[in-house]
Amino acid sequence: QVQLDESGGGLVQAGASLRLSCAASGGTFSHYAMNWFRQAPGKEREFVAAISGSGSSIHYADSVKGRFTISRDNAKNLLYLQMNNLKPEDTAVYYCAARTSYWGEVDFWGQGTQVTVSS
């Protein structure tokens, strides 16, 4: 059982930056592809970014490409999401997620961290 604990959310103004972190425990971190998802009020949860276990493969949603950067530190069991040039439409609860296969079902979810971007 992998446990995921996100941190780093907050309230910022448009154009600001935030870095989210996700600490993993209870499993072999490098065995999992890791993802960030987000869910805005009244909307479905959506994919934001993915990174393979080794970090060699990375994908982004078109809405964040060029502004967000996903990375991981397998030695520290940490996943990151650097978010730059934030926009009000980035306001959402951000979740980290672990998948056994890169585009397979999500095996484990974190509890989420709130990001609010004011205009």
pLDDT at 1: 87
What is the pLDDT tens value at each position of the chain, 119 positions in all? 899 999 999 999 999 999 999 999 998 999 999 999 999 999 999 999 999 999 999 999 999 999 999 999 999 999 999 999 999 999 999 999 999 999 999 999 999 999 999 99
Nearest one of 47, 20, 14, 33 to 117, comparing CA atoms: 14
Strand positions, DSSP E, 1-119? 3-7, 10-13, 18-25, 33-39, 46-51, 58-60, 68-73, 78-83, 92-99, 108-109, 113-118
pLDDT at 4: 98
> What token pair was written down for 70?
């996903």
